[in-house]
Structure 1
Amino acid sequence: MKLYHFPLSGHAHRAALFLSLAGVDHEIVPVDLAAGAHKQPEFLALNAFGEVPVLDDNGIIIADSLAILVYVARKVGPSHWLPVDPVAEAEVQRWLAVAAGKIAYGACAARLVTVFAAPFRPEEVIERAHATLAVIERVLADRRWIAGTTQPTIADVALYSYIERAPEGNVDLSGYPRVLAWLRQIEQLPGFIPFARTPAGLEA
């Protein structure tokens, strides 16, 4: 497998993280976003939206980080990463939706402001990030992993990157002890790889 990747992208990190956690052999193919490599015809042929990550599995192209998590989880076969029990799988899918929505337009967007000068209103996206984190903090009161499973799932992987680096977007995590414990728990998993850090926001 080849993973087209940019190190400061949380979307790319979640895909690379899961490939590593799942023990899947893969090659990282850097995409120079600053140079506009993602807008060149050869990359647009892989993903017409011009976004990383993209997975190339021997000619099967999967574009979108969450789609990559689902694809790889199914590819490695039945496992705790994507349960086949309908209730558990629905709970995983619920949190994938949170990653694609509330995290993307909260913690992710706040980080985009400070790291990439994205034109979001900081106070709005930071408030949205805290609202989402408050819910996650409550949910983690009676479960170890976000989907309520006994082992981690791709839902944990999907949420990790942008929550862990939320301080780069001026989102303070100190008021969320359960979230912090959950982050540290993920970091102890075999195959864990960290997300690149930048001196931005509260990390400056």
Structure 2
Amino acid sequence: MTSSIKIHGFPLSGHSHRVELFANLANIPYEAIVVDLPNGAHKKEPFLSLNPFGQVPVIEDGDIVLSDSNAILVYLAKKYAPNWLPEDPEGAAAVQRFLSLAAGQISYGPASARLITVFGAGLDAGRAHAVASWAFDRLEAHLAGRNWLAADEPTIADVAVYTYTAHAPEGNVDLSGYPNIRAWLSRVEGLPGFVGMKKTKVGLAV
């Protein structure tokens, strides 16, 4: 185990949270470094030397620098917590399916809806809500009779999808009609080492 990992992120970023959440769940020591997004620190040096795309999170693990939250989850699981990422082809593919969901419909649905209400992003709220409904309808059906998304135990798939699903109400996306999703969220929150993301009031701009 290492004590050298640095996680550059922002407290209200769901992408940052999923990386810190996994580090806590997998008992991976790290140092959290807050990037001053409101003042544009992610769009100038020295941050751009870490990630030219100007996005959080970024991790430093010795000489290794990685960006993209899902890529970071894969790296951390492969290196420090392999029980969170199945090695068999079917299991690995099942996890990848939900990493794609997290980067696709979850990002363009509930995450985008939250960007509008929390950060004042100029996005299409109607489209974001429609995508969120599409994704959650299918996630609800998938979770019928299942405890976890991709395996019989939690994997990085659950970590990748958790944060923006749990915080969907901040984007005015109602979860009351999704009992399977809400039960799954509770199971994630009951895992040893769980840490939540800071909640905001709807309409707060930062």
Select the residue among 171, 178, 181 that pairs with 2:180: 178
> 2:82 is paired with a residue of what secondary structure?
coil
Match of 1:38 among 35, 42, 46: 42
State the identity %: 52
* Amino acid across the alignment from 1:122: A
Q: Tell me how far apart the structure 2 counterparts of residues 92 and 168 of structure 1 sit (CA, whole Å).
A: 26
Moved over 4 A (4+): none
Structure 1 position 72, deviation (Å) = 0.1
Deviation at 1:59, TM superposition (A): 1.9
Q: Give the SS at the match of 2:39.
A: coil
Aligned to 1:141: 144
Question: What CA deviation, in whole Å up to 9, does each residue of 1:127-173 have, x standing for no partner?
Answer: 110110000000000211011x1110000000000000000001000
Rounded to whole Å, the distance in 1 between the matches of 2:27 and 2:81 is 12
Q: Distance in 1 between matches of 2:106 and 2:64?
A: 28
Q: For 1:8 and 1:95, how far apart are their aligned partners in 2? A: 22
Look up the equivalent residue of 1:175 and give its one-letter code. Answer: G
Q: Distance in 2 between matches of 1:77 and 1:122?
A: 37
Q: Aligned-residue CA RMSD in angstroms?
A: 0.9
1:101: which partner in 2? 104
**Alpha-carbon deviation of 1:77?**
4.8
Question: Does the 8 Å CA contact 2:26/2:81 hold for their aligned counterparts?
Answer: no
Per the TM alignment, residue 120 of structure 1 is displaced from its structure 2 partner at its CA by 1.1
The answer for unaligned runs of 5 or more in structure 2 is: none
Aligned AA (2:11)? P
1:187-198 map, 5 Å: 187-198=189-200
Deviations 1:23-60 (A, max 9, x none): 00100001010111111221000000110000000120
For residue 200 of structure 1, the aligned residue among 199, 202, 205 is: 202
Q: Counterparts of 1:20 and 1:5 in 2: how far apart (Å)?
A: 15
Consecutive unaligned residues of structure 1, counting only runs of 5 or more, are none
Q: Deviations over 1:51-107 (max 9, x none)?
A: 00000001200111001100000011531x100011011010010000000100000
State the number of aligned residues: 199
Code of the aligned partner of 1:127: A
Structure 1 residue aligned with 2:15:
11
Q: TM-score, normalised by structure 2?
A: 0.95
